[in-house]
Every structure is written in C-alpha cells, then in structure tokens.
Amino acid sequence: MRPIRSILYIPANNEEWVLEAPEKYDADAFIFDLEDSVPPSEKERAREIVADAYEQWDTDKTITVRLNAPDTGLFEADLDAVVHDRLDAVIIPKLPRTEYITRTDHVLSYLESRRGIESPTEIIALPETPRGFYNAHELCQASDRVAAIVGGTSRGADVERALGWEWTREGTEKLHMLSKVLLDGKAAGIEQFFGGAWTNVEDVDGLRTEAERLRSLGYTGYQVIHPSHVEPVNEIFTPDEDDVAFWQRVMDEMETAELEESRGAVRFEGEMIDIAHIKRGEDILERARAFDMID
C-alpha cells in the first residue's frame, strides 16, 4: 500500500458522494463505508453503489471499503459485491481475533481467483475491541495482506465504549492503547498506522493537536470524517521541509566521509551522526519522495 496521510470516510449509500469524492477531495485514500454510517435498510444499496462506481471513477487515489464485521451476517455479501481489481484494501472492523483475518484472506483469494484479479487486495485491521487490542500483534501477523492497523481515537465511538475510558482532549487515557498498537504492529512488520477520527468538525485546532500527538508517537496517517479535515491532516503527516533538507545534507556529508575518509560517524551541524541516524534519514527521505517533495 502506498503511503497514506489522510483517509476520508464516505457513506457508501450516498451515490453522489461516492462518485465525486476521489476527484473532488485531496485525501490520499478513501474509505467507502458499508458499516456504521449506513443504516440496515440501505446495506444492499450501498454495496451496489460501490460496485457500480468502479467503472466510473477516474482516479489513482487509494480506494478502500469498510466491511461489516464478519459476525454480522453481512460480511460475505459485502466482499462478493466490492472485490474488484480497482479495490486496494478492505477494512475489517471490530476485530477480536486472528480467525477473522484469515477468513477474510481466504474469501479474498477465492474471489480474486474467480475474477482474474492479479494484485492481492490488502487488509487494514480495525481492532475496536479489548481482545482485538490485546491480540494486535497476532492480527498483524495473521496474513501477508495486512498492510495497516488503526488505533481508534474518536470521542464516543466503539473504542471508547469498548475500553471504558473517559475521552479527553489531552489524550492520556488513549496513550497505552496507541503505543501498544504501534509497538505490536512494528514488531509484525507493519509500516502504516492510522488514528482518528476527530468528530468535532468545527474544532480544527483540536484536530491538529491530536494529529500532531499521534505523529510524534509514530503514527503515519489519520482517518477523517469531513473534507475540511483533509488539508490539516495532510500538512501534519507530510515530512517537514527543514527536516528533509537537513537529512539530504547529512546524506551528502556521510557519503563523503565514508568514501573519502573511511569514517562511519561524523560531527555535522553540531550533532554526532552515525549509521543508525542514517537509517532514520533514509526513512524520512523515502516518505518525502512518496509525496513528491524530492526526486
């Protein structure tokens, strides 16, 4: 999965929004939601809208679909309707254990084989349950398709209810969960981590504060539920231009030191830089290239 900063939710039963979103908004990715934002009476129609939209979209944005949970009785029909060569990933909500991941993997393999889809559909894990967070490492390892995991931080949403915390703007009640998801995911080889969503549409300052906190923890992107949140989220999760310029200079200096002076560590602009720092710099520059900041 390509690097994602902002991933925008679109209720899949709103045909106009579904069709126009990828070209209208600057989000890196879109979640066409079949789950919580769609009432039971609209589930079938939502599937049909997404299935028809594939042929009408003209975009290279990342396309994902949030399914109904595997134990709802809607899961198989969701997958049957939306698996397509234009679909990049499915999001599995309310995950308690690895069997839900492997079950999804098997169904995807069957549908891809039947439909001639060569590029595997990826999975974004959305635990949302105490057992799911406890098993986060196992969820991330359950299939090679798992490309990202979400540490949900929405006020009043499934994670708050499941874990019983009292939501605050300061976010201390969420810190352990967010850190565990990050550590477990990293240990399993996952590179993309999403927080969010911020539910107060008017409070952009609050959104910025939380997104910056998540970035400092190591999260790479953020779920958004309103188009006005896309721009600040993209800004926050884009590498800082000064950092990028600094690491470009470091790389040049280290290359000179290694080739001409046979040194693996240098003093550069007041800091000691060695091979471990270089790996960090490579990560930052790779992300900068992904967002066309440098060649």
Domain boundaries, the chain: 6-236, 241-290
% of the chain at pLDDT higher than 90: 76
Residue with tokens 């550069």: 268
Per-residue pLDDT tens over the stretch 130-166:
999 999 999 999 999 999 999 988 988 888 888 898 8
> Does the structure show a pLDDT above 60 at 261?
no
Q: What is the mean pLDDT of residues 103-128?
A: 97
> Does the structure show a pLDDT above 70 at 260?
no
Which range, 164-178, 195-209, 278-292, has the best average confidence (pLDDT)?
A: 195-209
> Does the structure show a pLDDT above 70 at 294?
yes
- Distances in Å between the alpha carbon of 113 and those of 62, 78, 116, 120, 292? 22, 17, 5, 10, 35
Please give the mean pLDDT across all residues of the chain.
Answer: 93
Per-residue pLDDT tens over the stretch 26-48:
999 999 999 999 999 999 999 99
Q: Write down the pLDDT at residue 160.
A: 87
In order, the DSSP letters of the chain are: ----SEEEEEETT-HHHHHHHHHH---SEEEEESSTTS-GGGHHHHHHHHHHHTTT----SEEEEEPPPTTSS-HHHHHHHH--TT--EEEEES--SHHHHHHHHHHHHHHHHHHT--SPPEEEEE--SHHHHHTHHHHHHS-TTEEEEE----TTSHHHHHHT----SS-GGGHHHHHHHHHHHHHTT--EEEEE----TT-HHHHHHHHHHHHHHT--EEEESSGGGHHHHHHHTSPPHHHHHHHHHHHHHHHHHHHHH--S-EEETTEEE-HHHHHHHHHHHHHHHHTTS--
How far, in Å, CA of 173 to CA of 164, rounded?
Answer: 10
How far, in Å, CA of 248 to CA of 105, rounded?
Answer: 40
> Does the structure show a pLDDT above 80 at 275?
no
Where on the phi/psi map is residue 85: left (φ > 0), alpha (ψ -120 to 50), or beta?
A: alpha
CA-based angle 132:4:291, to the nearest 5?
A: 160
% of the chain at pLDDT higher than 70: 97
> Does the structure show a pLDDT above 60 at 242?
yes
CATH number listed for the domain at residues 6-236 = 3.20.20.60
Q: Write down the pLDDT at residue 238.
A: 96
Per-residue pLDDT tens over the stretch 176-234:
999 999 999 999 999 999 998 999 999 999 999 999 999 999 999 999 999 999 999 99
Q: Write down the pLDDT at residue 252.
A: 81
Q: How confident is the model at residue 93 (pLDDT cuts 50, 70, 90)?
A: very high
